[in-house]
Amino acid sequence: MDLSAYRVCRLCPRECGVDRTAGEKGVCGVSAEARVARAALHAWEEPCISGEGGSGTVFFSGCGLRCVFCQNRPIALGEAGQDISTGRLADIFDELEEKGAENLNLVTGAQFVPSILEALSIARGRGNRLPVVYNTGGYERKETLSMLKGAVDVYLVDYKYASPRLAEDCAAAPDYPAVALDAIGEMLSQRGKARFDGEMLKSGVLVRFLLLPSALLDAKLGLKRVFSLCQNRVLYSLMQQYTPMPNVKPPLDRRVSEAEYRSLFDYADALGIENGYTQARESAKESFIPPFDLSGVL
């Protein structure tokens, strides 16, 4: 495997420049060895991703964004998870196919893109034909996304913050709004208009908007901005599953209200969004978060 991208790491917009092959760690908190916290069928994505069989979800440890309210905090910090070889990662991809997964759903993998590409190449060579879903918080460099061109079928991407102020407050990343919009543009240019095979999304971009408490105007601005760029060539997912973790401070210490969510939905409707998903209020439960217990990893 070509390790050069890990030697002076600029895989994500933090551009830390550390040598992860020597064990140095940047903002994402992980070295060059792929680290995975869970690999299992997951039924809780949008229906066009989960399908009947479940999405073959691989949760990578570490994260370059690190939102203060993260529901996957133990893996975002790189604490939970097991370092594995690319060979083992390829085996995991095959095992998920054997279990009946509809696709490979790679969650927060920017910090391991070279390893992911190597593992995919091994699995493809052995006949693995599952579509690949790249599931990301949106804080991505275009240069890294271009490495994924041709290897990823579906981009499942958040647009988390529309204002630099909110992005600074929540993730110390004031450049997030511009960077993530650029990333979505790159994803759209790679995959084009969303295409389905029956109920399943086979190619395209699905943009998620997780509504945060007291951030309705920001979410509307984000929707408007992404719609201006992509119109109805991408799918939209309006999410109300935000669950306050014990560490968060006001105004993040509550769920979003039904009125806030309804207002976001009405705004999406008024913009002319035709292809989208909404989310039931019951989704806002901690039990919705899968256990990061190394299932399917070892």
User: Which residues form the interface with ligand SF4 (CB under 6 A)?
Assistant: 9-12, 14-16, 18, 26-28, 64, 111
3-state secondary structure of 281: helix
Nearer to ligand SF4, 176 or 261 (CB): 176
For strands 55-60 and 34-42, give the pairing.
antiparallel
Between 10 and 255, CB nearer to ligand SF4: 10
Kindly tell me which of 60 and 242 has the beta carbon lying closer to ligand SF4: 60
Element of type H or E holding 133: strand 132-136
Find the DSSP H helices in the chain. Answer: 4-7, 47-50, 73-76, 86-98, 113-125, 142-147, 164-171, 176-191, 216-230, 258-271
Residue closer to ligand SF4, measured from CB, 28 or 89: 28
Minimum CB distance to ligand SF4, residue 16 (Å): 3
Select the residue whose beta carbon is closest to ligand SF4 and give its number. 26
* Six-digit token string for 61: 């440890």
> How far, in Å, are 133, 240, 246 from residue 81 at the CA level?
21, 27, 22
| Closest CB to ligand SF4 among residues 32, 40 | 32
Closest approach, Cβ 99 to ligand SF4, in A, equals 29
- CB-based contact 26:10 (threshold 8 Å): no
For the bound state, the minimum distance from the C-beta of residue 30 to ligand SF4, rounded and expressed in Å, comes to 7
In the complex, what is the shortest distance from the CB of residue 142 to ligand SF4, in angstroms, rounded to a whole number? Answer: 14
Q: Smallest distance, Å, CB 26 to ligand SF4? A: 3
CA-to-CA distance for 276 and 292, rounded, in angstroms? 29
Residue type for position 8? V
